[in-house]
Structure 1
Amino acid sequence: MAKFGANKNTREAAETQAKNILKQISEKHVGTDRNNFESLVKLAEYANSYLNCSLKDVTQEQALQYLSDRSVDHSQSSLNKDTLAFQRMFQGAKVSDPLSKNDRLPKIKSEMEQNNNSRCYTQRQIEIVQQHQTDKFALATQLAASAGLRAHELLTLQRIDERSPSERDKYLEAKELKFKGMDGEKYTVKGKGGLIREVVIPSHLAEKLEQHRLDQPKQVIDREVHYQSKYDIPGGHRWSNSFTKAAERSLGWTTGAHGLRHTYAQERMSDLQNTERYQTALAVISQELGHFRPDITLVYLR
């Protein structure tokens, strides 16, 4: 497969690809075309450097993963602008993975404010918060903390024998080091952009989780998104609110439930650096958290 950018500057190659797409989707409005062009150039650079393909060959799933990574340190308005540009590309240009005119790309929520305000909790602080939650909410907190889950991902838990991880999750670099030193049962969750990734739940928590397994999945609506949950445990906004209120009551402060992902990342970095180089450890943690690029995970290690 050709290496894009090998014979010309990566930015120059990306601009050429973006111009070709823009010709097909131009709305003849200077401001809109400029915004679309900027978004498409960035996606093209990402595709050339990380996906080894041109802009027209980027799939919808890959574009959503790109947006998911950017959600860590980009504003909601920036993500919305990019999403609209990509949607126009998939709907109006000659691409390998077209989108119907009647369909829309899902909205990716920004984590920038959460990450800017977040810092990790100690394990003792997490235990104290759990003591101020009901049993089901406390279990959800333990699960999120132990596997670095986002709030909505609690609603998507499935055993790995029921659903396999996305191909991109299984074949990224350093996959053989994922979950090194962790004992437990393997599950999958569905993250931003539709990435289905593997997670490890400690055995004692997996046993508790299975006690809440439903005979039939139930539909849960969280922030206008529909989920089919296989377990009778809280997640999403409902659990996040519970954690925040419990932390305020018990600790007198809170950085929100998202801080648990910071805890996971920082503790995993500490463990992995006992045996692995920093960059290798960073790549492993990025995969465990569901990021495509290791540098994105640096936000969680502040």
Structure 2
Amino acid sequence: MGDAHRHLIRSRQTAVVYEDCVSNFLAFRSTGKVPAEGPFLRAEADEFLFLNSLVWQQKTLDQHRQALNKVLCIELPRYRASVPTFVRSRAYTNDEINLIVSQMSQRHALSARLISATGMRAFELLSLSDVDKCSPSPDRPWRSDLFSGLTNFVRCTTVGKGGLARSVAIPKVMYEEINQLRFVWPTIVSDRRKSYTPTFDLAAGQALSLAFTRASQKALGFSFGIHGLRHSYVQRRLNELQGQGFTFLESLEVCAQEVGHFRKDITLHYTTVRG
């Protein structure tokens, strides 16, 4: 895609996903021995989606449709995936989190505990900064009651999907730990083909995700991925907020903003309880 994403897509992370989708489409075309440089026919993209609707889940199918629509400037039909999508809980219990962390290095364990306490994504640790250095996105209707019920925390800022900057509440004791890890000089760190200049020298991104998965497999015999810590955060905060008198929908909206969704329907998926 080169620099095309700058004109088509606002989020660099979305551009990376779309680039992978387009690469899959080009690989599909190459099997038909058609010129790699085009022209690209709508019928080819349509056939690509139809055939893969038989083997992909809906989310993967929709991602490829969106990518092709954007890059080829067309509107392809939405196919229903033949492979069902199973929604299951990915939340870890506190005991499970402690067991996983015990199998990690001190550096990785600190980042895992930080994600568990704040609901951040693994890559968001790379943009974590003090609130006076980066303010929450001003174009969003932020609730005034975020982090209700939490005490002894330091408010910081991170940047998530789509460039959304939001506040996160870091326990004061944990903030004192990461405060010792500030970079003295600007340092460039790369993760998933994107460059960051982090404030803190924290394990983050894909490397952290892989380390967490290995530790979870070793400690528990299974892994829901480090994203499961966000599920745990949402479920814990829902219980805390409802215990303070918030309704379920109010609690869901607060949680949605705290984890950087702004859509209650997405956050609702995090509430599934393990059987």
Change beyond 3 A, Cα 1:153–1:83:
same
Is 1:279 aligned to 2:249, yes or no? yes
The AA in structure 1 aligned to 2:113 is Q
Q: 1:28 to 1:79 in 2, by over 3 A?
A: closer
**C-alpha displacement at 1:207, in angstroms?**
0.5
2:144 match: secondary structure: helix
Partner of 1:160: 131
Alpha carbons 2:134, 2:157 under 8 Å: kept: yes
* Distance change (3 Å), C-alpha of 1:256 and 1:272: same
User: Residue 114 of structure 1 contacts residue 258 of structure 1 at CA under 8 Å; is this kept in 2?
Assistant: no
Deviation by residue 1:41-83 (Cα, 9 ceiling, x = unmatched) = xxxxxxxxxxxxxxxxxxxxxxxxxxxxxxxx96244224324
Alpha-carbon distance in structure 2 between the residues aligned to 1:138 and 1:202: 15
* C-alpha distance in 1 between matches for 2:233 and 2:125: 15
Shift of 1:263: 0.0
The residue correspondences of 1:167-178 to structure 2 (distance < 5 A) are 167-169=138-140, 171-172=141-142, 175-178=143-146
Aligned length: 214
State the one-letter code of the partner of 2:154: E
Distance of aligned partners of 1:289 and 1:206 in 2 relative to their CA distance in 1, 3 Å threshold? same
Matches within 5 A, 1:133-148: 133-148=104-119
One-letter amino acid of the counterpart of residue 182, structure 1: L
Local SS of the residue matching 2:150: coil
Q: Contact 1:214/1:232 (CA < 8 Å) preserved in 2?
A: yes
Secondary structure of 2:126's aligned partner? helix
Residue aligning to 1:99? none
Q: Which residue is 2:195 aligned to?
A: 226
Aligned to 2:63: 79
Take 1:285 and 1:263, find their aligned partners in 2: how far apart are those partners? 12
Which residue is 2:147 aligned to?
179
Q: Which residue of 2 aligns with 1:46?
A: none
C-alpha separation between the residues in 1 aligned to 2:88 and 2:194?
Answer: 25
Which one-letter code corresponds to 2:148 in the other structure?
A: K
Q: Which of the two has greater helix per residue? A: 1
Out of 267, 270, 274, the residue aligned to residue 297 of structure 1 is 267
d(CA) in 2 for partners of 1:87 and 1:199? 34
C-alpha separation in 1, matches of 2:157 and 2:63: 26
- Whether 2:192 is the aligned partner of 1:245: answer no
Question: Match for residue 270 of structure 1?
Answer: 239
In the alignment, does 2:182 pair up with 1:216?
A: no
Q: Do the aligned partners of residues 168 and 290 (structure 1) sit closer, same or farther apart at CA in structure 2, a change above 3 Å counting?
A: farther
Q: Mark the CA change 1:237 to 1:191 in structure 2 (over 3 Å): closer, same or farther.
A: same
Q: How far, CA to CA, are the matches of 2:117 and 2:200 in structure 1?
A: 17
Matches within 5 A, 1:115-134: 116=87, 118-134=89-105
Q: TM-score, normalised by structure 1?
A: 0.64
Counterparts of 1:209 and 1:181 in 2: how far apart (Å)?
23
CA apart distance, 1:283: 0.7
Letter in 2 for 1:294: K
Q: 1:203 aligns with which of 147, 157, 172?
A: 172
Q: Partner of 2:189: helix, strand, or coil?
A: strand
Q: Secondary structure at the match of 1:198?
A: strand
Q: CA deviation at 1:223?
A: 1.3
> Is residue 158–residue 166 contact of structure 2 (8 Å, CA) maintained in 1?
yes
Relative to structure 1, the CA distance from residue 28 to residue 150 in structure 2 (aligned partners, 3 Å threshold; closer, same or farther) is closer
1: distance between equivalents of 2:65 and 2:71? 10
5+ long unaligned stretches in structure 2: 1-38, 47-56, 75-83
TM-superposed deviation, 1:118: 4.9
Query: Residue 107 of structure 2 aligns to a residue in which SS?
Result: helix
Matched residue, 1:189: 158
Alignment of 1:44-55 (within 5 A): none
Residue aligned with 2:158, SS: strand
